[in-house]
Structure 1
Amino acid sequence: MEDCESIANEGDQTPNAAFDVRRAARAGEAAPTPLVFASPHSGRDYPDDMGSALDPRNLRLSEDAFVDDLIEAAPAMGVAVIAARLGRAYIDMNREAFELDPAMFADELPAHAKPRTARVAAGLGSIAKVVAEGKEIYARKLMFAEARDRIESAHQPYHAALEQLLEEARAAHGFAVLIDWHSMPAAAARGATRERPCDMVLGDRFGAACSNLVTSLIERELEAMGYRLARNAPYAGGYTTEHYGRPAQGVHALQIEINRGLYLDEKALKPTAGFAKLKSRLETLTQTLVATDWAELAP
């Protein structure tokens, strides 16, 4: 894959300002691996039309900060990557598009909205009500047109692009493997196991979204590096994992949550000295995934 880095660096990216796509092959060429990486919550752009009551620092509390940087070497190894540019507090790519809280809006939501989900109840629909620590984002009622514009300009194009990457991988290899990368607050990691805080949580919807071959391999590789892992608790996988994970149809989706304590100063929102070590180890994991014969995953 010696030429992949130059291809990625040439800027083979979507023109949509909401997200970036970096392919490991030029347009028209077959995907070199069945792997697709996604980072839906690492975006740190907040358009002026958001009209938030919070300052920029507080808006960023919900970000999976710098996760896109942790996986930036993947295209050079043959892995397609899609990463949000818009902040999660503006539009959450890891939600169903119309998961909306009617209490946030001055006008009525359309009939196809989904107001009664656990994520909406928690204030974390596609248009979030709160950021981390429960801080409310808006001191006003929104209009549905605002939500519709964000969905049509960002959320829907993001998922159209992700679907295309998965289809390209499946067309070339007979199947696709999607890794949806996230990070979790250190406080959440402490609640994942009674023995000591876990370093990462693998979410495969309790086996429904991804073959155990994938989950177990990643688990073994990360544990061999010294990381403590949990499966499906407290995170079993979000909308992306649930929506795309269809092993019987040749698409396997796994969510990986990384303890922010490994690489991030959560108060300052700056990488710590542990960032370089973690990034290097994730690159080693990616190399292993690329070198693995996944033929058994084909439906």
Structure 2
Amino acid sequence: MTPIEITRGSSPVILGLPHTGTNVPDDIAARLNDEGRKLRDTDWHIHTLYEGLLPGATTVRATFHRYVIDANRDPSGASLYPGQTTTGLIPEIDFDANPIWTAGREPDAAETARRVALFHRPYHEALEAEIARVKALHGVAVLYDCHSIRPVIPYLFDGVLPDFNVGTDNGATCDPRIEAATIDLCRAAEGYSSVLNGRFRGGWTTRQYGRPADGVHAIQMELTQSTHLGDDFAYDEARATRLRPHLSVILKAIETIAFDLAGARP
């Protein structure tokens, strides 16, 4: 199994896809229980949703499932949201609080370290390399981290999640023009709801790489799956067709700002 798929482009924008993979090696799959094998917490079809929306964009996609190891978590195991309910580097439970591992076969510290080396680290080495390459081309790079989630998950949050959840760690991870353009376009999208730095303000990837002063900007987009999926996580062509133009406009606006930022750099 190749843990990462990379498509290199010439745009200053990089799409990160840490949670669309469904590959689980046999030795790890054997540890999962029946609930875990459903892989329900996948960011289903997000790579298909974004395909072709920004010609020239680089994509870095993890092909392994987040139950193998979560590429959007701190490899040290530190929580993204201290004091709030969340899942860890190797989740013990799914988003509905159901155990996903066979009793007695939960990953231990040694197994976690092995998976960091085999999956988590290679994904981030690939992402770092593409950020460096794109920055060398333009003087700036923008990482747009692509995510999705079910709109109702009582274990993680109350009520119904907005359709567009934009995260910049409260403005720390990107130039304010990128943040403003993104959320303004989300708010202008008729029939969709949105929030900036709400329940999801950017995962470890966004916070790790977003260093505006160094010319690297990062922003996370968490879409609710009702915007592009139907029953049983099937890709809904009609819903996706309605959503894709809005995402395209957002990505093109970010790219334009990135080029402006590149021109402003000495």
Report the TM-score, using the length of structure 1 for normalisation: 0.77
Partner of 1:23: 8
Secondary structure of 1:264's aligned partner: coil
Change (3 A) 1:173 1:241: same
Q: 1:66 aligns with which of 42, 45, 60?
A: 45
Secondary structure of 1:214's aligned partner: helix
Q: Which runs of 5+ in 2 are unaligned?
A: none
Partner of 1:165: 130
Q: CA deviation at 1:255?
A: 0.6
Secondary structure of 1:132's aligned partner: coil
Secondary structure of 2:16's aligned partner: strand
Partner of 2:95: 132
Q: CA deviation at 1:198?
A: 2.0
Amino acid at match of 1:253: A
Partner of 2:211: 246
Secondary structure of 1:271's aligned partner: coil
Partner of 1:103: none
Q: Residues of 1 paired with 2:202 and 2:82: CA distance? A: 12
The alignment covers a number of residue pairs equal to 258
Q: CA deviation at 1:148?
A: 2.1
Q: CA deviation at 1:66?
A: 1.0
Partner of 2:172: 208
Higher RCO (Cα < 8 Å, 6 or more apart): 2
Identity, % of aligned positions: 27
Partner of 1:183: 148
Q: CA deviation at 1:197?
A: 5.3
Change (3 A) 1:22 1:144: same
Q: Which runs of 5+ in 1 are unaligned?
A: 1-15, 25-31, 100-113
Change (3 A) 1:90 1:154: same
Amino acid at match of 1:199: D
Q: CA deviation at 1:151?
A: 1.1
Q: Residues of 1 paired with 2:171 and 2:239: CA distance? A: 31
Amino acid at match of 2:47: D
User: Is the 1:209–1:254 contact (alpha carbons within 8 Å) kept by the matching residues of 2?
Assistant: yes
Q: Given the alignment of the two structures, is residue 198 of structure 1 paired with residue 162 of structure 2, yes or no?
A: yes
Change (3 A) 1:222 1:198: same
Report the TM-score, using the length of structure 2 for normalisation: 0.86
Change (3 A) 1:53 1:160: closer
Q: Given the alignment of the two structures, is residue 220 of structure 1 paired with residue 200 of structure 2, yes or no?
A: no
Q: Residues of 2 paired with 1:79 and 1:86: CA distance? A: 22
Q: Residues of 1 paired with 2:86 and 2:258: CA distance? A: 41
Q: Residues of 2 paired with 1:127 and 1:62: CA distance? A: 13
Partner of 1:279: 244
User: Is the 1:58–1:131 contact (alpha carbons within 8 Å) kept by the matching residues of 2?
Assistant: no
Secondary structure of 1:82's aligned partner: strand
State the superposition RMSD in angstroms: 2.8
Q: CA deviation at 1:80?
A: 0.4
Q: Residues of 2 paired with 1:264 and 1:144: CA distance? A: 36
Q: CA deviation at 1:169?
A: 1.4
1:62-85 CA distances to partner (integer Å, 9 max, x unpaired)? 1111111111215x6111001111
1:114-170 CA distances to partner (integer Å, 9 max, x unpaired)? 5x7757984622111111211111122434332222111111010001011111111
Task: Identify the range of structure 1 (32-41 vs 221-230) with the bigger mean alpha-carbon deviation.
Answer: 221-230
Q: Residues of 2 paired with 1:72 and 1:280: CA distance? A: 12
